[in-house]
Structures are given as C-alpha cells and as structure tokens.
C-alpha cells in the first residue's frame, strides 16, 4: 500500500460510516417519542466512538463538576479517561470529574439557531470550570512561595480547554454557521 491508497481506504471507510449513521437516523424516525428518538441518536454516535477511539477513552453521559462544586447541565456524550473516578447515579446520569473529561459532544437531531446558541452558551459555561490544582495555588495566594515546577503545572492546567463538539444529523450548511 502506498500513502494515497491508504488515505483513499480511510476516506471510503468514513463515508460508509456516515451513510450508516444516516440510515440509523432515518430508522429512529419511526419512534414517535422524542426522548426515545434522542436516546437512540446518542447511542448511534456512542457506538461509533467506542469502536474508533483508543481503549483509554470511555464514553459516558451526565453532568460534569469541578473542585468548586460547579455542576454543568447534562451532556449527551462525554469522552472520559478510563482511569478517572466517576460517580454513578444511574443509567446515563453520572457525575464526572472535570479532571477526567477529554471532550464533550452534544447530539442534535436538527441544529437550528436556538440549539446552536444554547450549545455555545453551554460550552462557554464549561470552559469556566476549575481544576483541583487551581485551588491549591489560589489558597496559597503568594505565587513566589510556590516552587517553579508547581507554578508551571498550574499554568498548563489553567489554560486547558475542553474540546466541545456539536454533532447534528440535520441543520444549516457549515458556511451558514460561519456567518
């Protein structure tokens, strides 16, 4: 195989996955209950991710909280470290430590203006959460008393942003959203 053949195979693979997801989406339309439809559509994406992400990443759902006890809204899919603790409250109702979150994905059947702006607000809220290392630094209140290695770690943690994605089965073209 040369690189071009490998890339073509990869593109073909994901085109087939895309067609499969859209077929599952169409099948989910046979349900008349909106919660069931939404749950099925989240399941389709979760199953895709489970087969395409490394084993160190697990797929969860629920609320994210931080060291200051800020608690997010419910998130459809949270890509979570497999070694991070989790508080199970029941099926798809987990409390997830911010330190274990690798990414967040919101699933939308149709991405209209209100869903788009609501998702942007949710992302903005989530990006303001605090990591536990920040508390140690802030309680000290004197940066010069803290070893340089700890300060460097603090700055790296503080600047970390959670990747936040919106997956929509239907909605405006990308060019429309960019406006």
Residues near 139 by Cβ (< 8 Å), separated by ≥ 6? none
Mean pLDDT of all residues in 149-161 = 60
Over the stretch 36-93, which tens digit does the pLDDT of each residue have?
899 999 999 999 999 999 999 999 999 999 988 999 999 999 999 999 999 998 877 8
Q: Which two tokens stand for residue 171?
A: 């909605």
Instruction: Please tell me whether the overall predicted TM-score, pTM, comes out greater than 0.85 for this model.
Output: no
Average pLDDT of the segment spanning 144-149: 58
pLDDT at 135: 45
Residue 9 has pLDDT above 60, yes or no: yes
Q: How many whole angstroms from its chain centre is CA 132?
A: 20
Given a cut of 50, whether residue 138 has pLDDT beyond it is: no
Identify which has the larger pLDDT, 13 or 154. Answer: 13
6 compared with 86, residue with greater pLDDT:
86
- Positive/negative CA dihedral, 54, 42, 48, 15: negative
Q: Which of 136, 131, 162 is nearest to 149 (CA)?
A: 136
pLDDT at 93: 84
pLDDT at 143: 54
Q: Is the pLDDT of residue 4 over 90?
A: no
Highest mean pLDDT among 3-7, 47-51, 156-160, 168-172: 47-51
User: Which residue in 48, 46, 148 sits closest to 105, CA to CA?
Assistant: 46
Instruction: Give the chain's mean pLDDT.
Output: 84
At which residue do the structure tokens 């911010």 appear? 98
* 142 pLDDT higher than 60: no
- Cα 16 to Cα 13, 23, 33, 72, 176: the distances in Å are 5, 10, 28, 34, 26
């Amino acid at each position: 195989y040369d690189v071009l053949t490998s890339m073509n195979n990869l593109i073909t693979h994901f085109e087939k996955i895309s067609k499969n997801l859209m077929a599952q989406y169409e099948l989910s339309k046979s349900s008349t209950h909106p919660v069931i439809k939404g749950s099925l559509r989240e399941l389709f994406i979760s199953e895709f991710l489970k087969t395409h992400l490394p084993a160190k990443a697990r797929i969860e759902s629920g609320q994210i909280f931080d060291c200051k006890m800020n608690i997010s809204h419910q998130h459809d899919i949270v890509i979570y470290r497999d070694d991070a603790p989790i508080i199970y409250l029941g099926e798809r109702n987990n409390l997830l430590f911010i330190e274990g979150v690798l990414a967040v994905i919101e699933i939308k059947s149709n991405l209209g203006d209100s869903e788009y702006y609501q998702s942007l607000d949710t992302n903005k809220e989530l990006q303001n959460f605090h990591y536990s290392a920040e508390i140690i630094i802030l309680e000290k209140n004197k940066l010069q008393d803290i070893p340089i290695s700890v300060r460097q770690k603090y700055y790296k943690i503080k600047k970390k942003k959670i990747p936040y994605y919106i997956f929509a089965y239907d909605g405006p073209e990308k060019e429309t959203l960019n406006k």
